[in-house]
Structure 1
Amino acid sequence: MKINGNEIRPGNVITHKNGLWLAVKTQAVKPGKGPAYAQVELKNLIDGTKLNERFRASETVERVRLEQKDHQYLYAEGDMLTFMDTDTYDQIQIPRELLEDRAAFLQDGMKVTVESHEGRAIGVALPDHVTLAVVEADPVVKGQTAASSYKPAMLENGVRVMVPPFVEAGERVVVDTNEITYVKRAE
């Protein structure tokens, strides 16, 4: 599907320079002189390289539709993660590096969406939020009363996030898996 260069949005997958690229960030720029353009940060879905490109509104790019299937996370073995198709029960293995830092949020039996292009897995979409226990939280410093003061905490999966001062070790919190940030206390 062809789209104009100024219609590229974060999350879109496009073909560019004989490769598959994911739009990570986009910014509309209108210089004082010359035509407007979209400044797009792209990430190559095959080798992970990054690229900054300018696309004018008059340019067209090919937007790629990815096949999405529901899978269930089973286990990790070395650098490979094993998922099971929830319809056919077929198992596939995906390299851990495809998920980068978000691989730490995988939990046994978690439902995920595997995105593939021409039969090759190129992405895994985790649930937006997961609930994890805080195993270690720094004590609150007396006199720190600013509303925006956060303290570091270690989660049960080994990931460090900044949490509000009232969160203590042993509590369960909801974490955003995309931004890797604290959302709220778990109910």
Structure 2
Amino acid sequence: MKISGVDIRPGNIIEYEKGIWKVAKTQHTQPGKGGAFMQVEMKNLIDGRKTNVRFRSQDTVEKVRLDTKDFQYLYMDGEALVFMDTDNYEQINLDADMLGDAVAFLQDGMTVTLELYDERPISVALPEYVEATIVEADAVVKGQTASSSYKPALLDNGVRVMVPPHIGAGTRIVVDVYAQEYVKKAE
């Protein structure tokens, strides 16, 4: 499916210069002179290269449709992550780099979605939100105003997030996996 260069959004998978690229960031720019363009930061899903490209509104790119399949995360084997196909119980090993920073949020038995291109896994999508327990939270500084007075906290998976002052150690919270931000207190 062809899309205009200014319709590219983060998360899109596109075909560009005979490679498969995942869009990380986009910035729409409309200079005072000349036509508008989309500045796109993307990563090659096959070899891991990153690039920045400008697409004008008249440019078109091929949006790639990937096959998706659910897998269950089993364990980490050195630098590889072991996943099991939930349909036929076959196991596959994937490089931990494929997940980036989100690898810290993997939990035993978690169901993830693998995106496949020509039967080959090229990306792993975790659930958008996961629950985690705070193991350490800084004390509240007296006199801070209620607005935007977040404090740092350490989660049980080693990730640091900013939480509201009323959240303390031992509290289970919901975290946005990709933004690595506090969402709400777990129920």
The 5 A counterparts of 1:1-187 are 1-187=1-187
Q: CA deviation at 1:16?
A: 1.2
**1:3-29 CA deviation, whole Å, 9 max, x = no partner?**
221221111111112221111122222
The aligned length equals 187
Gaps of 5+ in 1: none
Name the amino acid aligned to 1:118.
D
Q: CA deviation at 1:32?
A: 1.9
Name the amino acid aligned to 2:132.
L
In the superposition, the TM-score normalised over structure 1's length comes to: 0.95
Name the amino acid aligned to 2:174.
V
Name the amino acid aligned to 1:4.
S
Name the amino acid aligned to 1:115.
E
- Rounded Cα–Cα distance in structure 1 between residues aligned with 2:31 and 2:72: 47
Name the amino acid aligned to 1:28.
H
- Rounded Cα–Cα distance in structure 1 between residues aligned with 2:30 and 2:161: 37
- Rounded Cα–Cα distance in structure 2 between residues aligned with 1:144 and 1:33: 46
Q: SS of the residue aligned with 2:113?
A: strand
Gaps of 5+ in 2: none
- Rounded Cα–Cα distance in structure 2 between residues aligned with 1:157 and 1:48: 25
Q: SS of the residue aligned with 1:43?
A: strand
Q: CA deviation at 1:147?
A: 1.6
Name the amino acid aligned to 2:35.
P
In the superposition, the TM-score normalised over structure 2's length comes to: 0.95
Q: CA deviation at 1:170?
A: 0.7
**1:17-75 CA deviation, whole Å, 9 max, x = no partner?**
22211111222222222122221111121233321111112112111111100111111
Q: CA deviation at 1:143?
A: 1.3
- Rounded Cα–Cα distance in structure 1 between residues aligned with 2:145 and 2:28: 39
Moved over 4 A (4+): none
- Rounded Cα–Cα distance in structure 2 between residues aligned with 1:85 and 1:72: 7
Q: SS of the residue aligned with 2:103?
A: helix
Q: CA deviation at 1:96?
A: 0.4
- Rounded Cα–Cα distance in structure 1 between residues aligned with 2:164 and 2:36: 42
- Rounded Cα–Cα distance in structure 2 between residues aligned with 1:145 and 1:58: 49
Report % sequence identity.
Answer: 60
Deviates more, 1:21-30 or 1:168-177: 21-30
Deviates more, 1:166-175 or 1:42-51: 42-51
